[in-house]
């Protein structure tokens, strides 16, 4: 009760007596027809309340008054004191939400006046020969209501189309209007459509005539049906406008503006254009809001409107209704019975509701008590849903866990230590941002100067703290909440979600992180809006108690991870869900963050940006901050990018100068940018996991992409086991603890502060960039030609801008690494639509550059063992980029021969011989050298605990999957699917074949072949060979080769274009010979044709891009599947496993085990009928989409025939992969 009182929620009426409602003597019914789902109110009483504006109900009628009025109205109706003379089945809402002059009168007077007004309007319409809409039987209703009722039988998206119009004769009988026939059904519907196509009046034609006309226009009818089908399919997907309405409704409910939410929904209901976007989720938001207050009338009205507009209630709708009945003061049992019957007719059982709907504990108890009023024998006990794994590979993987005793890895921390880490992470997320000391060396200044700078910055921030609240209130007061968009939304409720201090903090943090060159307005405004959304979600979870629940579960969850934990043999997801059920009686968290579309965040961000531009000022004289002359701190300007005019927000140079004096000491980051201080919360659904309270998504999706969200929702409901392997894999990748390699970090920071090095990937500061040229018409001190001068200025500014961006990026990464150098941290993961995994923190992670990777090492060390030291040495040679075509034994011999260079690099990285700088990956090489030096100098290298990740990379992994799909023997041999003594280099083989063809052409006198003599090598062809499997075009391949040729200093530049064209053709020809079966798989057809729906405008994407995108996306999905299977099986064996797509990391001791698992899962994956399944899927998807034009039918049938023919496979034996040493090496 205390929680409900704090939130302003009506308590459940566990012992409330039921209101005895007798049948209405006048209308002979207990409830209105539209309310059969719900509350029993006589039609006469309902007519009274239906005419009241929704804005008046919460303020003028209390819950007790509503019940009292109902009782009095029933008694007066029985005594004949209140009459309307209208049947219950015809009583409909009249202008629900309009501000009538009599809205504030007593209910009885309102009803009488409503009757008089309706009769008067009826007479007026008849006299003027108007055609008022009629519902059914002989009842007169309002025109708007008739439209709703007449359209209720149609599809929800078409509920606002033309309805059946009739007119009332003087005798009171219905008479059909000649010129506008009723909407026909079934066969007559087709005839009516043809008549509309031919512009023929249906009243002038008989049915036989219409049939003949229909036979004359079959193509047009088919086209119209096709267009209607397209429109229906497009309207099923959520658009930005729908997401904006959901966000607006949630904001209104959160801020207590229920009237605005109600008006927004009513506007959509009445709109013929925008009413098609109504969704059940919109009604659910309001249903639950009114349910919290126990308002039966409002909930009943919402159910009534849903029925009229054919919006089907879902489980959440019925839960809201039951909750409302539990909180209401009086609710008859027959109403409750009818609701439960209707819910069961729609396929929702009570057991399913209590099992699957995510109640809070008090809500579950209240609804359960309400149900037991009419179902006293109902006993609920949670039934855990264990769905069988329908995917063979997944079922096989999880079946092995049951048969064998898994040895899941443990963290080197106690349970209490993990709980303390969790509290620290929670505090950081709730704060929303974190301050990090910068690694940039501060310029030495005396104490007086430092004190003066600090005082100037503090005075500036204090000034903003005083001025911004006034400006924010003034700007908010000018926002009219009633002035809404076409969808009934406005920015007003979003300005009430947080306190003023929160908005001020967000604006001040944004201005301090604004780069000197400015930011595009659209990016800056969207980022501001996202910050507001993130902070709102965090505060909302804290308010409704989700934060406390997560904390309670996590305190028990650490028993699975801690070194002294008592729980074994469970995946993190499984154990977390068990704790939810046991501790909270809760299967999954019900509070899913409503997605704010870009339009909403842009509007909110633009509002805040306007305040910043107009009211954030700085003193004109920086040395005298008390001076009264103020200038804007930021300003809005325009830049041109690719001939497009783009708005920019730029800081004043004086502000940049002031802040830079403080930037030497601190940087401000959002909380989600930092690695987590505790093991991430396991993903249990697509919307919950990774962070504690910070909103996150399992799958990275662009704004407006709804198809994937629909598939996720469908999968979650129909077969959750399909998501388990994805959730468990992402949890496993995120559970790896990391720590900083402090020795390498110190070397990089010293180099960063001493000017950087482009060769080593440490960007120099912008001060080392080019100086802007000068213009001098004489040419003595500058450039004389104006065109050349402008070109040189643009180039210099572009270079400076790039140098600044790279330098700041390096500063961010090094500063974050320095902030976590003495602690253990984790990287939460998510995936893209292909299944490829990524780290959630964007700046500092293991997927970054060579510099970032060198700073990371496993927090848990493992002894090298008998073979681990050799793997570390082989890893060193692989990083150097040497001996790629040599055997492992030869690489090991090379490492032993250069042991002196290794030790010198470890001891004197910047002062010695700098052998490590010659590597392809210099900083990772330096980290490996230091690890080898420690192991060599230890008493027993085999017992040395190593923290260094050892990599095993696939040999042109995309071609490996293609060769396995086609069972291509020749191609498999080229990419090491078949055992060899030495690794096969597909790039060298292609270069050799291209060179052989070049020799033949040169002998035949081809000039360009002669020019290329001595220039065809592995480096020139590598990028094209690597990307051809991912759908690179010939044009793209030519550009790649052209870039490589331009890098050769002695190649004649005049022949670059012809040479690149010649070589790209030769590369494609060589690959076609080598991968014969593979090329059959890469047949590209026009099967990818999608439509992006933006309101009613249809746009088709670039067809060629869609064709080119299909092969790489499919192959990427295969390599991600291989990675997931490998990750799960490595986790089962107790291995530390991390991946960067097709590059797998683990401890040196466990490389052999990981290699074995990697090969087993590759064979298992490609033993499945992948191509056959793809063929069946494409046939199922496209067989029913017959083109509208007859001339396209033949091509469509050819496409279907092509999809049926699965490419013939070769004779490759996949089991040979198990013995291939260089498959991953």
Q: Catalytic pick from 953, 1001, 1107, 1152?
A: 953
- Listing DSSP states for 1091-1154 in one string gives -EEETTEEE---HHHHHHHHHHHHHHHHHHHHHHHHHHHHHHTT---EEETTEEEE-GGGHHHH
Strands 945-946, 862-863: parallel, antiparallel or unpaired by DSSP? antiparallel
Q: Which two tokens stand for residue 887?
A: 């055997």
DSSP per position, 569-592: S--HHHHHHHHIIIIIS-SS---P
Which residues, at least 6 apart from 1005, have a Cβ–Cβ distance to it below 8 Å?
Answer: none
Pairing of strands 862-863, 856-858: unpaired
Selected catalytic residue, list 292, 526, 650, 1022: 1022
Backbone φ and ψ for 617, nearest 5 degrees, come out as -120, 160
Alpha carbon of 316 to those of 259, 577, 900, 1041: distances in Å?
A: 22, 21, 70, 58
* DSSP characters over 625-636: TT-S-EEESEEE
- Side-chain-facing half-sphere of 805: CA atoms under 13 Å: 9
Using CA atoms, how far residue 40 sits from 20, 37, 306, 335, in Å, is: 11, 9, 17, 6
DSSP string, 522-572: HHHHHHHHHHHHHHHHHHHHHHHTHHHHHHHHHHHHHHHHSTT----S--H
Record the tokens describing residue 1005, joined without a space: 């006198």
| 3-class state of residue 433 by DSSP | strand
User: Which of these, 1, 2, 109, lies nearest to 52 by C-alpha position?
Assistant: 109
Nearest 5°: the CA angle 177, 180, 186 is 110
Give one DSSP letter per residue of 235-252, joined into a string: HTS--HHHHHHHHHHHHH
Instruction: Write out the two tokens for 434.
Output: 């974190």
Angle at 634 between CA 632 and CA 637, to 5 degrees: 110
Question: CA 634 to CA 652: how far, in whole Å?
Answer: 5
What is the sign of the dihedral through the CA atoms of 564, 567, 573 and 576? negative
CA 688/CA 694 separation, integer angstroms? 10
Phi and psi angles of residue 690, each rounded to the nearest 5 degrees, phi first: 85, -70
How far apart are alpha carbons 1157 and 789 in whole angstroms? 61
Do the beta carbons of residue 42 and residue 88 sit within 8 Å? yes
* Catalytic-residue membership of 716: no
For residue 624, what are the contacts with CB-CB under 8 A and spacing of at least 6? none
3-state secondary structure 740-784: ECHHHHHHHHHHHHCCCECCCCECCCHHHCCCCCCECCCCCCCEC
Q: Are strands 519-520 and 617-619 parallel, antiparallel or unpaired?
A: unpaired
The Cα 156–Cα 309 span in angstroms is 6
- Cα–Cα distance for residue pair 468/456, rounded to 1 Å: 18
Rounded CA gap, 591 and 609, in Å?
A: 30
Say if strands 1138-1140 and 1143-1146 run parallel, antiparallel, or are unpaired. Answer: antiparallel
**1022 assigned to active site:** yes
Strand 644-651 and strand 1138-1140: the pairing is unpaired
Report the candidate in 612, 477, 409, 365 with the shortest Cα–Cα distance to residue 1135: 409
**Interatomic CA distance for residues 61 and 69, integer angstroms:** 9
| Catalytic one of 930, 997, 1142, 1149 | 1142
Provide the annotated active-site residues.
953, 1022, 1142
């Amino acid at each position: 009760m205390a929680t409900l009182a704090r939130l302003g929620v009506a308590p459940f009426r566990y012992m409330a007596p039921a209101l005895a409602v007798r049948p209405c003597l006048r209308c002979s019914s207990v409830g209105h027809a539209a309310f059969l789902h719900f509350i029993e109110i006589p039609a006469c009483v309902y007519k009274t309340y239906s005419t009241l504006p929704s804005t008046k109900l919460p303020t003028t009628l209390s819950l007790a008054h509503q019940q009292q009025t109902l009782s009095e109205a029933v008694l007066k109706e029985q005594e004949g004191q209140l009459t309307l003379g209208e049947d219950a089945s015809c009583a409909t809402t009249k202008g629900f939400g309009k501000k009538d002059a009599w809205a504030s009168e007593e209910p009885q007077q309102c009803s009488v006046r409503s009757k008089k007004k309706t009769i008067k309007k009826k007479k007026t319409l008849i006299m003027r020969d108007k055609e008022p809409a009629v519902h059914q039987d002989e009842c007169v209703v309002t025109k708007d209501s008739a439209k709703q009722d007449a359209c209720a039988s149609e599809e929800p998206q078409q509920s606002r189309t033309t309805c059946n119009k009739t007119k009332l004769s003087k005798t009171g009988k219905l008479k059909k209007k000649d010129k506008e026939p009723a909407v026909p059904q079934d066969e007559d519907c087709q005839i009516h459509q043809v008549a509309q196509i031919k512009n023929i009046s249906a009243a002038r034609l008989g049915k036989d005539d219409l049939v003949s006309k229909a036979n004359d226009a079959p193509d047009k009818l088919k086209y119209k049906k096709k267009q209607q089908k397209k429109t229906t399919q497009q309207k099923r997907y959520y658009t930005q406008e729908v997401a904006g309405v959901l966000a607006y409704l949630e904001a209104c409910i959160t801020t207590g503006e229920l009237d605005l939410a109600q008006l927004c929904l009513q506007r959509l209901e009445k709109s013929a254009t925008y009413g098609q976007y109504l969704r059940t989720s919109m009604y659910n938001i309001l249903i639950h809001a009114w349910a919290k207050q126990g308002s039966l009338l409002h909930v009943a009205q919402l159910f009534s409107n849903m029925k009229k507009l054919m919006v089907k209630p879902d489980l959440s709708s019925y839960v809201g209704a039951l909750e409302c009945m539990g909180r209401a003061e009086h609710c008859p049992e027959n109403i409750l019975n009818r609701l439960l019957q209707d819910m069961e007719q729609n396929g929702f059982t009570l057991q399913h509701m209590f099992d699957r709907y995510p109640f809070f504990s008090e809500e579950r108890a209240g609804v359960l008590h309400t149900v037991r009023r009419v179902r006293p024998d109902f006993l609920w006990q949670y039934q855990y849903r264990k769905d069988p794994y329908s995917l063979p590979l997944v079922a096989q993987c999880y079946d092995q866990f049951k048969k064998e005793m898994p040895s899941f890895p443990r963290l080197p921390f106690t349970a209490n230590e993990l709980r303390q880490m969790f509290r620290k992470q929670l505090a950081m997320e709730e704060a929303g941002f974190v301050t990090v000391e910068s690694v940039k060396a501060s310029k030495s200044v005396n104490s007086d100067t430092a004190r003066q700078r600090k005082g100037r910055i503090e005075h500036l921030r204090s000034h903003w703290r005083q001025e911004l609240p006034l400006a924010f209130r003034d700007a908010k007061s000018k926002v009219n909440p009633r002035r809404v968009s076409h969808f009934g939304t406005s920015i007003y409720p979003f300005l009430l979600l947080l306190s003023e201090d929160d908005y001020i903090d967000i604006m001040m943090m944004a201005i301090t992180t604004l780069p000197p060159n400015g930011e595009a307005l659209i990016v800056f405004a969207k980022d501001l809006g996202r910050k507001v959304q993130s902070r709102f979600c965090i505060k909302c979870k804290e308010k409704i108690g989700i934060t406390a629940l997560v904390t309670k579960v996590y305190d028990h969850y650490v028993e699975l991870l801690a070194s002294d934990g008592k729980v074994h043999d469970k995946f993190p997801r499984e154990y977390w869900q068990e704790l939810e059920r046991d501790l909270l009686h809760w299967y999954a968290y019900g509070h899913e963050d409503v997605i704010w579309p870009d339009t909403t965040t842009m509007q909110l961000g633009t509002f805040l940006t306007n305040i910043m531009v107009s009211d954030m000022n700085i003193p004109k004289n920086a040395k005298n901050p008390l001076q009264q002359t103020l200038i804007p701190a930021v300003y809005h300007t325009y830049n041109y990018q690719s001939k497009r005019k783009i708005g920019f927000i730029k800081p004043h140079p004086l502000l940049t100068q002031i802040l830079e004096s403080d930037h030497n000491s601190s940087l401000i980051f959002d909380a989600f940018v930092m690695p987590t201080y505790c093991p991430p919360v396991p993903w249990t659904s697509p919307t919950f996991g990774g962070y504690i309270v910070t909103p996150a998504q399992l799958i990275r999706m662009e704004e407006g992409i709804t198809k994937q969200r629909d598939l996720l929702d469908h999968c979650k409901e129909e077969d959750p086991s399909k998501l388990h392997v994805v959730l468990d894999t992402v949890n496993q990748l995120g559970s790896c603890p990391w720590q900083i390699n402090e020795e390498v970090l110190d070397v990089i920071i010293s180099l960063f502060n001493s000017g950087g090095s482009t060769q080593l990937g440490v960007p120099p500061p912008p001060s080392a960039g080019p100086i802007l040229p000068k213009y001098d018409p004489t040419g003595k001190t500058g450039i004389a030609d104006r065109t050349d001068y402008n070109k040189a200025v643009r180039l210099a500014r572009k270079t400076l801008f790039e140098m600044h961006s790279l330098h700041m990026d390096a500063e961010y990464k090094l500063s974050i690494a320095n902030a976590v150098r003495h602690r253990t941290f984790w990287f939460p993961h998510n995936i893209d639509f292909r299944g490829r995994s990524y780290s959630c923190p964007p700046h500092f992670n293991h997927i970054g550059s060579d510099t970032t990777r060198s700073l990371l090492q496993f927090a848990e060390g493992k002894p090298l063992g008998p073979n681990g030291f050799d793997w570390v040495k082989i890893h060193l040679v692989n990083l150097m980029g040497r001996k790629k075509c040599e055997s492992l034994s030869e690489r090991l011999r090379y490492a032993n021969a250069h042991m002196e260079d290794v030790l010198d690099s470890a001891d004197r990285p910047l002062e010695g011989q700098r052998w490590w700088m010659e590597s392809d990956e210099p900083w990772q090489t330096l980290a490996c050298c230091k690890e080898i030096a420690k192991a060599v100098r230890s008493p027993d290298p085999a017992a040395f605990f190593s923290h260094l990740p050892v990599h095993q990379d696939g040999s042109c992994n995309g071609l490996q999957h293609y060769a396995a799909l086609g069972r291509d023997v020749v191609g498999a041999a080229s990419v090491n699917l078949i055992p060899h003594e030495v690794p096969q280099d597909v790039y060298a083989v292609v270069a050799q074949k291209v060179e052989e063809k070049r020799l033949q052409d040169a002998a035949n006198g081809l000039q360009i072949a002669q020019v290329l003599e001595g220039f065809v090598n592995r480096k020139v062809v590598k990028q094209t060979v690597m990307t051809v499997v991912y759908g690179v075009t010939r044009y793209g391949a030519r550009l790649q080769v052209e870039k490589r040729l331009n890098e050769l200093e002695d190649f004649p530049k005049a022949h670059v274009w012809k040479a690149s064209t010649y070589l790209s053709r030769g590369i494609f020809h060589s690959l076609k010979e080598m991968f014969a079966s593979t090329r059959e798989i890469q047949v590209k057809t026009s099967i990818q044709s999608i439509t992006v729906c933006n309101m009613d405008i249809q746009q088709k994407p670039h067809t060629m891009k869609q064709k080119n995108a299909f092969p790489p996306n499919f192959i990427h999905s295969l390599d991600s599947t291989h990675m997931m299977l490998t990750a799960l099986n490595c986790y089962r064996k107790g291995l530390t496993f991390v991946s960067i797509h097709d590059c797998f990391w683990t401890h040196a001791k466990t490389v052999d085990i990981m290699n074995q698992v990697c090969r087993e899962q590759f064979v298992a994956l490609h033993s499945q009928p992948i191509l056959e399944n793809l063929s069946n899927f494409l046939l199922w998807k496209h067989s029913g989409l017959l083109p509208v034009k007859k001339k396209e039918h033949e091509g469509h049938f050819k496409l279907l025939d092509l999809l049926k023919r699965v490419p013939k496979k070769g004779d490759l034996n996949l089991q040979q992969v198990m013995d291939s040493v260089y498959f991953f090496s």
